[in-house]
Chain A
Amino acid sequence: MYEVLSHTAVAVEPLLELDAHPECGGLALFVGTVRDHHEGRQVHHLKYTAHEPLAAKVIRDVEHATRERYGVPYVRIVHRLGDLSIGDVAIACVVRAPHRAEAFDACRYAVDAVKHGAPIWKEEFYADGSSAFVEGCCIRDDLDAPAATPHRHHSHTSHG
């Protein structure tokens, strides 16, 4: 089975499947890359870690759910793990669809779902030598009082 988590550089082109899916007239691609700043601090590099068994399962579930929800035949997501430099590919998501509207919508849905649900953590290393884990989304499904910790949407927009 293909990999959804990669410890080495992610090559985007092999994910596109341009020579397949003749019924599809659209391909939407999102590539998230490492940015050199976060909340006013200069980012030198970063490290992604994961609970790999659950992260892989969540990403495969997102691929499946996206195909079902948008009626598209092909959704492929790869998330990078390990040490990344500025500009490196952090996540790639490809959707093939008959038409562009569902390709764009499905691609956005899939990327958001992975960011909010896959147990992957981003540790940023700053120019001053310090580092911090980026604050993220709680993935408990039995939390009674989610209002106690407001959703910080600015921390979800790392790539855009």
Chain B
Amino acid sequence: MKPIVFELFANLERLAGANECRVDAGEETVTVADALAVLAEQRPELAGSLERCACVSGDTIVRRADPLPADRRIALLPPVAGG
């Protein structure tokens, strides 16, 4: 089991009470979608908000079907409201 770190923003950060969330995942966790499933299972209070989040690695949006980023860090960006 190796940790995956999710960076949390806005409402997600408020729900979790922290700006980061670490989950342990095994080798069967290979895609972004797999990682989100692990997060939803381990942190049910976040599960309902994940569908509308974009996932970002560095400064690039990654898709659910993409492989888990090599650094095992994913930023979860809920719907945006700038301006």
Contacts and interface: CB of A to CB of B under 8 A. Distances in A.
Interface of A: 32, 48-51, 53-57, 79, 90-91, 111, 114-123, 133-143, 148-149, 155-156, 158-159
B9 A121 contact: yes
B71 to A, nearest CB: 14
Nearest to B7: A51
14 contacts: A49-B9, A49-B10, A54-B77, A79-B82, A91-B82, A115-B82, A116-B80, A121-B81, A121-B82, A136-B82, A137-B81, A139-B61, A140-B53, A156-B83
A140 B54 contact: yes
Interface of B: 7, 9-11, 14, 51-56, 58-61, 63-65, 75, 77-83
A133 B14 contact: yes
A149 B52 contact: yes
A138 B82 contact: no
Contact of B63 (A49, A116, A142): A142
A155 B10 CA distance: 16
B81 A120 contact: yes
Given A51-B9, A114-B83, A139 B54 contact: yes
Contact of A141 (B52, B61, B83): B61
Nearest to B60: A54
B78 A121 contact: yes
A110 B75 CA distance: 25
A105 B36 CA distance: 40
B32 to A, nearest CB: 9
A137 B83 contact: no
A106 to B, nearest CB: 16
Given A51-B56, A53-B58, A91 B83 contact: yes
B46 to A, nearest CB: 15
B80 A121 contact: yes
Given A135-B81, A138-B79, A155-B81, A119 B14 contact: no
Nearest to B62: A142
B13 to A, nearest CB: 9
Given A138-B52, A138-B54, A118 B59 contact: no
